């Protein structure tokens, strides 16, 4: 799918454009407001007839309302109108949702060559162009890899954005790399745990390294043992599948001014271990417990393609399964992490933080300017924030704000949460330095506090709990139902803007 700018206004653009399908976003009309130029241009281009058709079909331009008019023997042959509601408060997220509705209608109309006109005057044009393009491409993603008879789904080959200045071409070029990263993440998350194994994650990292010139190191179990990664290996020991500690490195051409580490939780299946997940705890969905690793690998793929300057990016995944066997961790075992911290395992289902503990210690040894981890860490975060926002914990206000800005620019919401020191008391163990699970209240916070123990003091670090956002049951805006690929766009935006840990005033 190719995106291009068509800088002219709708009325002029139509003269030059020869495609089959035109989509136009319309605000609800009102007596009090002058008509939006897009509506007047549309009516001018298609004659008084159109106004009548809109009334006949009772098109009110409510948000998400979509009307396709097929025009026999005319060009364009399909006209798609999407409602945008009231102009007041219309934001980039609304623009994305509208573009996603357009994409669905265009696919239903078998559009091959689509032009989209949306009111973008309130936005920076590159940001608006990117929002529309990402929404079109990502909302049309469909995954039929595991169907024996996949249904072919023809997609528009070219999408032209009417009214977007030619200066946006560069921003649109980045869309393909970013979306390929999101799609990789969605594929990894949606694939079942008998396909996406720790080995499969390592193979995926190898393919990214090969295709985009990244460096790859995979540490096998013995290498992890030599580094003393007892927390991570303790989780892995109940599985028949070997753990794979994955370390991918993007080296920018021309040298690096900053170094950042992206860490992703990579539990390819989380049974809970001896604290076995019971019915109702979504055990059958725990293939998505590698959503953090999918996000960082998707980001690595995108970064490898976009090749941002001056930022060296390390991607780390301590991949394994949390399973039950004669060799699995017992509730009550004490494990020693690679920084020497001893951990009493009072619940084998709080395994993600154990794998992340050793991954974070390893990350900090790289002496980075910032570390960001993403993890489907706690059900408590899902209860707190639902499915549309990830929890964001950080010891650095600057990094926190920079990540929120990167998220907002891509339609991924991050909500700041507290690292309240006094709650650390909940992780006190009578026998070891820490236990891995605190009380149920504030469970997402104690999980973050647990992680913080494995991060070098004062090093800008942020933790994103994506347990709620990794999967969408019904689909929303540009996310079809299923795996969302959440986190990729935020990470790519942040890294490609130089990976700031403070925002310029
Ligand atoms: N992978 C789960 C968290 C999870 C739950 C993700 C639901 C997505 C949806 C994690 O390993 C886990 O089991 N956490 C426990 C922690 C508890 C034992 C302290 C939880 O949230 O129940
Ligand atoms: Mn668990
Ligand atoms: Zn888990």
Tens of pLDDT, residue by residue over 248-304, are 999 999 999 999 999 999 999 999 999 999 999 999 999 999 999 999 999 999 999
CA of 249 to the centre of ligand 2 (A): 28
Which of residues 166, 195, 210 is at a domain's end? 166
Residue whose CA is at the smallest distance from ligand 1 atom 17: 350
Query: Count of CB atoms within 10 A of residue 275's CB?
Result: 19
Domain stops at, among 166, 193, 214: 166
Which atom belonging to ligand 1 lies closest to the Cα atom of 444?
21
Each residue's pLDDT tens digit, 394-435: 999 999 999 999 999 999 999 999 999 999 999 999 999 999
Query: Which entry of 96, 353, 435, 489 is annotated as an active-site residue?
Result: 353
220 and 101 in one domain?
no
Whether residue 504 is predicted with pLDDT greater than 80 in this model: the reply is no
Counting ligand 1 atoms within 8 A of each CB, the residue from 320, 348, 379, 391 with the most, and so the one to mutate, is 379
CATH number of the domain at 429, please: 3.40.630.10
Q: The pTM is what?
A: 0.98
Query: Closest ligand to 282 CA?
Result: 1
How many separate domains does the chain show?
2
Centre of ligand 3 from the C-alpha of residue 352, in Å: 5
Give just the sign of the alpha carbon dihedral 414, 415, 420, 425: negative
Question: Whose structure tokens read 């091959």?
Answer: 112
- Which residues surround ligand 1 with Cβ inside 6 Å? 270, 282, 289, 347, 349-352, 376-380, 382, 437, 443, 467
Q: Is 277 an active-site residue?
A: yes
Question: Domain for residue 496, yes or no?
Answer: yes
63 backbone dihedrals φ, ψ, rounded to 5°: -55, 130
**Are residue 275 and residue 421 in the same domain, yes or no?**
yes
What is the C-alpha to C-alpha distance for residues 335 and 283, in angstroms, rounded to an integer? 25
Ligand 1 atom nearest residue 289's Cα = 1
**Which token pair is 213?**
């010139």
17 Cα–ligand 3 center, Å = 51
Query: 252 — alpha (psi -120 to 50), left (phi > 0) or beta?
Result: beta
Identify which ligand lies nearest to the alpha carbon of 271.
2
- Of the candidates 294, 349, 299, the one whose C-alpha atom is nearest the C-alpha of residue 319 is 294
Contacts of 458 (CB under 8 A, 6+ apart): 395
The bound ligand whose nearest atom lies closest to the alpha carbon of 267 is 3
Residues 160 and 201 in one domain: no
Per-residue pLDDT, 275: 98
Query: How high does pLDDT run on average in the chain?
Result: 97
Q: Strand 471-472 vs strand 389-394: parallel, antiparallel, or unpaired? A: unpaired
Which structural domain, as residue segments, surrounds residue 63? 2-166
Task: Provide CB contacts within 8 A for 218, sequence distance 6+.
Answer: 202, 205, 206, 244, 245, 246, 247
Catalytic site residue 244? no
Contact 228, 342 (CB under 8 A): no
Domain assignment of residue 53, yes or no: yes
Ligand 1 mutation target, pool 295, 376, 378, most atoms within 8 A of CB: 378
What is the C-alpha to C-alpha distance for residues 331 and 502, in angstroms, rounded to an integer? 42
CATH of the domain at 22: 3.40.220.10
Same domain, 43 and 97: yes
Residue 129 sits in the same domain as residue 220: no
């Amino acid at each position: 799918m190719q995106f291009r700018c068509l800088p002219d206004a709708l009325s002029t653009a139509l003269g030059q454009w020869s495609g089959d399908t035109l989509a136009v976003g319309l605000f609800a009309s009102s007596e009090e407001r002058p008509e939006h130029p897009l509506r007047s241009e549309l009516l001018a281009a298609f004659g008084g007839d159109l106004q009548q058709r809109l009334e006949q079909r009772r098109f009110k331009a409510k948000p998400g309302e979509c009307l396709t008019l097929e025009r026999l023997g005319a060009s364009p042959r399909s006209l798609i109108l999407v409602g945008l509601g009231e102009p007041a408060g219309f934001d980039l997220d609304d623009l994305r949702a509208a573009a996603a509705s357009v994409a669905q209608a265009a696919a239903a109309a078998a559009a091959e060559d689509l032009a989209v006109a949306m009111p973008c005057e309130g936005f920076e044009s590159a940001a608006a162009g990117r929002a529309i393009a990402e929404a079109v491409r990502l909302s049309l993603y469909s995954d039929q890899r595991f169907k024996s008879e996949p249904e072919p789904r023809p997609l528009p080959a070219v999408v032209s954005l009417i009214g977007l200045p030619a200066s946006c071409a560069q921003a649109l070029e980045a869309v393909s790399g970013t979306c390929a990263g999101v799609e990789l993440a969605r594929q990894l998350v949606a694939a079942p745990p008998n396909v996406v194994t720790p080995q499969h994650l390592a193979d995926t990292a190898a393919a990214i390294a090969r295709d985009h010139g990244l460096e790859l190191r995979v540490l096998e179990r013995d290498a992890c043992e030599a580094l003393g990664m007892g927390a991570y290996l303790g989780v892995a020991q109940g599985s028949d599948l070997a753990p794979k500690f994955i370390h991918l490195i993007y080296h920018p051409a021309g040298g690096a001014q900053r170094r950042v580490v992206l860490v992703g939780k990579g539990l390819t299946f989380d049974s809970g271990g001896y604290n076995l997940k019971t019915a109702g705890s979504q055990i059958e969905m725990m293939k998505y417990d590698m959503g953090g690793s999918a996000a960082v690998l998707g980001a690595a793929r995108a970064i490898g393609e976009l090749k941002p300057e001056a930022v060296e990016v390390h991607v780390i995944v301590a991949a394994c399964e949390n399973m039950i066997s004669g060799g699995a961790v017992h509730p009550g075992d004490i494990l020693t992490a690679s920084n020497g911290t001893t951990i009493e395992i009072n619940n084998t289902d709080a395994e993600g933080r154990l794998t992340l503990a050793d991954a974070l210690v390893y990350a900090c040894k790289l002496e980075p300017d910032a570390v960001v981890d993403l993890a489907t860490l706690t059900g408590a975060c899902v209860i707190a924030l639902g499915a549309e926002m990830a929890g964001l914990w950080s010891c650095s206000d600057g990094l926190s704000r920079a990540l929120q800005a990167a998220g907002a620019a891509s339609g991924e919401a991050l909500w700041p949460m507290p690292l309240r020191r006094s709650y650390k008391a909940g992780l006190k163990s009578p026998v070891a330095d820490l236990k891995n699970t605190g009380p149920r209240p504030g469970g997402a916070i104690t999980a973050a506090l647990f992680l913080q123990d494995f991060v070098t003091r004062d090093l800008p670090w942020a933790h994103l709990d994506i347990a709620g956002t990794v999967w969408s049951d019904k689909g929303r805006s540009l996310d079809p139902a299923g795996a969302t690929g959440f986190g990729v766009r935020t990470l790519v935006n942040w890294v490609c803007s130089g990976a700031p840990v403070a925002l310029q005033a």
